[in-house]
A and B are shown apart, each in its own frame.
Chain A
Amino acid sequence: EPEVTQTPSHQVTQMGQEVILRCVPISNHLYFYWYRQILGQKVEFLVSFYNNEISEKSEIFDDQFSVERPDGSNFTLKIRSTKLEDSAMYFCASRVLGSSSYNEQFFGPGTRLTVL
C-alpha cells in the first residue's frame, strides 16, 4: 500500500540553525500539507501546497518557514533559523486531486524536531 515517507525521523539542532525536513508524498497525490504537533497537543496546520505553489498558510508559517517541491517526488519544509518553540513533531500529508472537502489525507510518520 502506498504511503507518505519522511526523513529524518528525528532531527536535533541548535537554536538559530537551519533545518530541512523532507517528505515523499504518495505518487498520484497533488495536494501536499505540513502540520506540526507540539508534544501532547493537537495537530496544527502549517501550509498547503498545490500546483507548485503555496495555496494557504497559517499564522505559524512566518518568514522563517518555506516549502519547496524541488523535483517530482520530494516536498520539503525549511526552517531558516530555528527557535526553541519550533520543537515539535512535523507531519507531512498528501491527498489526491478532487474536491477539497471529500478526500482523506494520508500522513507520514513524522519528523521529531528538537531545538536545543
Chain B
Amino acid sequence: GQQVMQIPQYQHVQEGEDFTTYCNSSTTLSNIQWYKQRPGGHPVFLIQLVKSGEVKKQKRLTFQFGEAKKNSSLHITATQTTDVGTYFCAGPSSNTGKLIFGQGTTLQVKP
C-alpha cells in the first residue's frame, strides 16, 4: 500500500538556525498536507499543497511540493523555541480522504 516516509526522525538545532524536513511518498499524490503536533498535543493543520512544483510560505515556514508530486519539504528559517514539536506530512489516500501520515520529524530548539 501507499507509504509516506519522512527524514530526519529527530533534529536538534540552536535557536536561530534553520531546519528542514523531507517527505517522500511511494505513489503520486493529489495533494500533500502538513501538520504540527506540539508535545502532548494533537495534529494541527498547517498547509496543503496541490500543484506540481508549488511553493508556499507562512512567515518563516516554506513548503514545497515536488514536480512529480511524490515529495515535499518544509523549511523553517531562523527557528524559535515556539517551533518545537513534531512535523508530519500526510497524503490523502482513496476517495474517502483518509490521510497516510509520515513518521514525523521531531524538532527540538535550544535557546
Q: Report which A residues bind B (CB closer than 8 A).
A: 31, 33, 35, 41-45, 48, 50, 55-56, 58, 91, 95, 100-110
Q: Report which B residues bind A (CB closer than 8 A).
A: 30-31, 33, 35, 41-45, 48, 50, 88, 90, 92, 94-104
Q: Is the CB of A43 within 8 A of B48?
A: no
Q: Is the CB of B41 within 8 A of A55?
A: no
30 pairs, CB–CB < 8 Å, chain A vs chain B: A31-B96, A33-B98, A33-B99, A35-B99, A42-B88, A42-B102, A42-B103, A42-B104, A43-B43, A43-B90, A43-B101, A45-B98, A48-B98, A56-B96, A95-B97, A100-B92, A100-B95, A100-B97, A101-B31, A101-B92, A101-B97, A104-B33, A104-B45, A104-B48, A105-B33, A106-B45, A107-B35, A107-B43, A108-B42, A109-B42
B8 to chain A, nearest CB (A): 14
Residues in A neighbouring B102, C-beta threshold 8 A: 42
Q: Is the CB of A102 within 8 A of B50?
A: yes
Supposing A43-B88, A56-B94, A102-B31 touch, asked if A107 and B44 sit within 8 A by C-beta, the answer is: yes
A52 to chain B, nearest CB (A): 14
Q: In the complex, which of the residues B31, B41, B48, B98 contacts A56, with contact meaning CB atoms closer than 8 Å?
A: B98
Closest to B94 in A: A56
Q: Is the CB of B43 within 8 A of A109?
A: no
Closest to A31 in B: B97
Question: A97 to B97, alpha carbons, bound, how many Å?
Answer: 11
Closest to A106 in B: B45
**8 more CB-based (< 8 A) A-B contacts, given A42-B101, A95-B97, A100-B92:** A33-B98, A42-B88, A43-B90, A43-B99, A44-B101, A45-B100, A102-B31, A102-B48
Supposing A56-B96, A56-B98 touch, asked if A105 and B45 sit within 8 A by C-beta, the answer is: yes
Residues in B neighbouring A43, C-beta threshold 8 A: 43, 88, 90, 99, 101
